[in-house]
Amino acid sequence: METRDIGILIVDDERVVRASLYNWFKEDGYRVETAENAAEALKKLQATGYDIILLDIKMPGMDGLELQRRIREFDKNAIVIIITAYASVDTAVQALKEGAFDYVTKPIDPDDLTHLVRNAIHQRTLAAENVQLKRKIEELSQLEEIVGESPPMKKVLELVKTVAATDATVMILGESGTGKELIARAIHANSNRRYFPLVPVNCGAMAEGLLESDLFGHEKGAFTGAQYRRKGKLEMANGGTLFLDEVGNISMKTQMDLLRVIETKQFTRLGGEQVIKVDFRIVCATNKNLEQSVKEGAFREDLYYRLNVFTIPLPPLRERRADIPLLANHFVHKYALQMSKDIKSISTDAMELLKGFDWPGNVRELENAIERAMVVGSPPCIKAEDLPRQVNGQSQIPGGDTLADVEKAHIKKILERTGWNITRSAEILKIDRVTLYNKIEKFGLRT
């Protein structure tokens, strides 16, 4: 990272110190600004971002320690280096405990401070690279979740491979639970934007005002409760991919605003005037018939054509029954690892029930059914009676409407089977005694 890309804010009530440090870092090519008190510093911090904040610990009014706490409220990633006199080293140490990178004492040695700043930038760069690497690993692991060898799924995977290599906008169509976000992540993970974030937005889960703020961000005071500046998802997705889930639920006003961003590649935060330029790919998903929504006047035709550049239709699970055994066994392996249970397969009877069910909730419902069965089942395999009642046609678990209900019933069954022998029950459940006692208390179980 070049020095001209690094922003430094110097906060000190001594004019001589501010001027000296300003000239020193400016000569090295850094982007430098100064503030003589906490109020001025906060104003500048809310207007723009800085990588490094050189902060005097002793100032009139709000001191450096309190200012650091305020900074952390709206920018947790800012690097704070404390400037202190020998007499206030204890306060500087307290600042370190609260997240400051390091401190220097007055009189300041410019060479030492420069070395400290470069070290801080290096560590920040490494941390950012680690975050990107972790994100990459997480996104690649999503590919393993796409399970299917049926002709419909082979076609889907071919489409994913084709479009991922481009920068085209993608529309994923499918019923709820078919795995639309999984496909979006696969597209992103195989694209040229994979080293930048994929930012999901659930357009169907928020009211219009909240969605607008979530997308565009806001400035301090933009509306009641907006105490600090906040970046929106559009800004966060810069360089990467913006995934608009359930895009058919966006209001007409937000549709118009989104169309403007797509056309101009820029926007302003709510309550702000600064124009923010962005470059991201859009992948969207819907379970609605958007063509019909356009005809009914509920969705803008121009936005529809902007979003519907490349379409990937996802088949419902009932149209890819050949994939049910693969998916079911995949989920068994997944939850066997998570729950540390020695269940490795599904009985023939149980598998026939799984293949014969219509799965209105698609893959999500199948996964939930396997997870429930793993909770109540016992080694070596999932049996028909372990499946939810809507699948096996009967109710095996009293009140089994939630996983908590299922877990409670299963623990009670094991305790009764062992005559409430805590040690033996814990062994069967593959949990320790303390955890079992906590669950007995949680569920109010009694002999």
Query: Can you list the alpha helix ranges (DSSP code H) found in 144-286?
Result: 151-164, 180-189, 208-216, 233-236, 252-264
Q: Distance between terminal CA atoms of the chain? A: 65
Rounded CA separation 254/237 (Å): 18
Residues 141, 146, 150, CA angle at the centre, nearest 5°? 155
The CATH code that applies to domain 3-128 is 3.40.50.2300
Residues 242, 244, 245, CA angle at the centre, nearest 5°? 140
Residues 149, 285, 253, CA angle at the centre, nearest 5°? 175
Give DSSP secondary structure letters for 383-436. -GGGS-HHHHSS--STTTTSHHHHHHHHHHHHHHHTTS-HHHHHHHHTS-HHHH
319-323 long-range contacts (CB < 8 A, ≥24 apart) are 319/152, 320/148, 320/150, 320/152, 320/153, 321/150, 321/355, 322/149, 322/150, 323/147, 323/148, 323/149, 323/150, 323/153
Rounded CA separation 384/392 (Å): 6
C-alpha distances in Å from residue 35, one per residue of 58, 79, 243: 14, 16, 39
| pLDDT tens-digit readout, 299-329 | 999 999 999 999 999 999 999 999 999 999 9
Q: Quick one: pLDDT at residue 223? A: 74
Q: Quick one: pLDDT at residue 427? A: 76
Q: Quick one: pLDDT at residue 207? A: 76
Average pLDDT over residues 191-208: 87
Percent of the chain surpassing pLDDT 70: 91
Which CATH superfamily includes the segment(s) 147-315?
A: P-loop containing nucleotide triphosphate hydrolases (3.40.50.300)
Give the least confident one: 101-110, 331-340, 379-388, 389-398.
Answer: 389-398
> What CATH class does 319-443 carry?
mainly alpha
Q: Quick one: pLDDT at residue 398? A: 44
* Length of the chain as a residue count: 447
Q: Quick one: pLDDT at residue 180? A: 94
Q: Quick one: pLDDT at residue 257? A: 94
| pLDDT tens-digit readout, 231-282 | 889 999 999 999 999 999 999 999 999 999 999 999 988 888 888 999 999 9
Residues carrying CATH 1.10.8.60, the chain: 319-443
Rounded CA separation 167/404 (Å): 44
Query: Can you list the alpha helix ranges (DSSP code H) found in 217-323?
Result: 233-236, 252-264, 290-295, 301-307
Reported as a pLDDT band with limits 50, 70 and 90, residue 44 is confident
Reported as a pLDDT band with limits 50, 70 and 90, residue 390 is confident
Tell me which H or E stretch contains 8: strand 7-11
Reported as a pLDDT band with limits 50, 70 and 90, residue 399 is very low
Rounded CA separation 304/158 (Å): 24
Amino acid letter for position 165: A
Average pLDDT over residues 93-102: 84
Match 């400035």 to its residue by tokens.
219
Q: Is 177 left (phi over 0), alpha (psi -120 to 50) or beta?
A: left
Amino acid letter for position 373: A
Reported as a pLDDT band with limits 50, 70 and 90, residue 395 is very low
| pLDDT tens-digit readout, 129-167 | 776 666 655 555 555 568 888 999 999 999 999 999 999
